[in-house]
Amino acid sequence: MLEALSERLGAIFNRLGNRGRLTEADVADVLREVRIALLEADVNLTVAKDFVAAIKERAVGADVLQSLTPGQSVVKIVHDELVSLLGGAEARLQFADAPPTVIMLVGLQGSGKTTQAGKLALRLKEGGRRTLLVAADVYRPAAIEQLKTLGKQIDLPVYDEGAGDPVTIARNGVAEAKRLGIPTVIIDTAGRLQIDERLMDELAQIAAAVHPKEILFVADAMTGQEATNVAKGFNDRLAVTGVILTKMDGDARGGAALSIHKIIGAPIKFVGVGEKLTALEPFHPDRLASRILGMGDVLTLIEKTQSVYSEQQAKDLAVKLRRNDFTLDDFLTQLRQVRKMGSMSEIMKMIPGMSRALPNVEIDERDLGRIEAIICSMTRHERGRPEILNGSRRKRIATGSGTQVSDVNRLVKQFDAARSMMKQMGGGKRGRFRMPALPR
């Protein structure tokens, strides 16, 4: 998502960085290309024009044109305006003073409302807030069963009355939450293939009946600019308080993410970044702006690391490295932990400067799978003492992992080199780290 826009902007600013000083004509040329890049990314035309106009107003000032680093100055301005365009700052969920807090999810059919209801409920549960899920989508086949299945997976209750009246179900669901002392209610509402009056009337009646603290519009980021048009339709009738953008891990151009806040005024609060129930993240405008401009995203990288690594695990690993006790078993554990954080390509892009140094970096996840298969085909004794791997053992491991003996040889050789380097570092000697190549 937004990768093509990031590459285009990167190329534009790289050229800008080669200029000693800027003229107004230079700025005009750059902004023309920025506008084209935004439109190609499916950003709303009005939003693109206003964005470029805001940058131009700041970029033609004397401080920029006479700066010794005008390219950096313009990039800083673009970054600031991107952050503003995306909402300025993280927008958190609002909770009612008197429970239960009612959160109503709305959107077109197929946008992923039911799945997002489960993801959001799990996120709230992990934050210490128990949630009652209410199945108010009585029209889509299997919608109620899907929500009940999600409820079982995350161990949270689901209220349903079957194919009844959605307004009554929503009202009764809130009453049930009060009776049970559950502080949060998430209502999964129905959608249509397109906006119609019957749908909007029903949603408005539900909102009037349960007085939701949050009305979150669920938008499929893959629909591009059309998502902003649909969002406006829902906002005009329901006064949307926030947006959940789904499928942000897809390959769409990303215009919805850059347009939707400007069009409806409601902030993006969460983004769906995968199919797993844990793949829902708070939306940080500044972090996305930094990633678009190739500046990395260190805070998200740290958060992802902390989600799979405990402080004790990090200490234990440090002790093993100091003692030179790091084995292939330990390496396998680290590899699996890193893979929980997401794709290696995405992780690399979060490292500042990496997308500029390696603009087309792509790591085939199958390579990591082959490494894991090779290690899993070893006995525990072999993982602890790879020096005992003779020819017959390596052939057996290659056969068991579906790889070549040369792949096994390469992995063992690189592991030995890495262990030697760790030993040198532990002994106070300087060693130069060389990133090992992956088996092919």
**Residue range 87-112: mean pLDDT, rounded:** 91
The rounded distance, in Å, linking the Cα atoms of 269 and 85 is 14
Q: What are 159's strand-pairing partners?
A: 134
Q: Which amino acid is at 26?
A: D
**Would you give the end-to-end CA distance of the chain in angstroms?**
27
**Residue range 89-105: mean pLDDT, rounded:** 92
Percentage of the chain with pLDDT > 90?
32
Domain at 302-426, CATH class? mainly alpha
CB atoms within 10 A of CB 303: 15
Which has more pLDDT, 211 or 63?
Answer: 211
Pick the closest to residue 418 from 433, 437, 440, 428 (CA basis).
433
Q: Residue written as tokens 């979060």?
A: 350
Start-end of H helices in 134-225: 143-154, 166-180, 197-210
Question: 342-378 in b/e burial notation, b at 16+ Cβ within 10 A?
Answer: bebebbbbbeeeebeeeeeeeeeeeebebbbbbbebb
| CA 197 remoteness from chain centre | 34
Instruction: Decide which of 1.10.580.10, 1.20.120.140, 3.90.1150.200, 3.10.450.40 is the CATH code for 3-85.
Output: 1.20.120.140
The rounded distance, in Å, linking the Cα atoms of 378 and 398 is 10
So where are the chain's domains? Answer: 3-85, 101-291, 302-426
Structure tokens at 313: 């695990």
> Degrees (nearest 5) of the Cα angle 337, 341, 347?
120
> How does DSSP classify residue 389?
-
Task: Encode pLDDT of 3-55 as tens digits.
Answer: 677 777 777 777 766 665 667 787 788 888 888 888 888 888 888 899 999 88
Superfamily of domain 101-291: P-loop containing nucleotide triphosphate hydrolases (3.40.50.300)
Task: Encode pLDDT of 341-379 as tens digits.
Answer: 666 666 665 555 555 545 555 556 677 888 889 999 999
pLDDT band of residue 69 (cuts 50, 70, 90) is low
Q: What are 188's strand-pairing partners?
A: 105, 135
Q: What single string gives the DSSP state of each residue in 38-104?
A: HHHTT--HHHHHHHHHHHHHHHTSHHHHT-SSHHHHHHHHHHHHHHHHTTSS--PPP--SSSPEEEE
> pLDDT value at position 173?
96
**Residue range 389-400: mean pLDDT, rounded:** 92
> pLDDT value at position 209?
95
Question: 19-31 in b/e burial notation, b at 16+ Cβ within 10 A?
Answer: eeebeeebbeebb
Whether residue 425 has pLDDT greater than 60: no
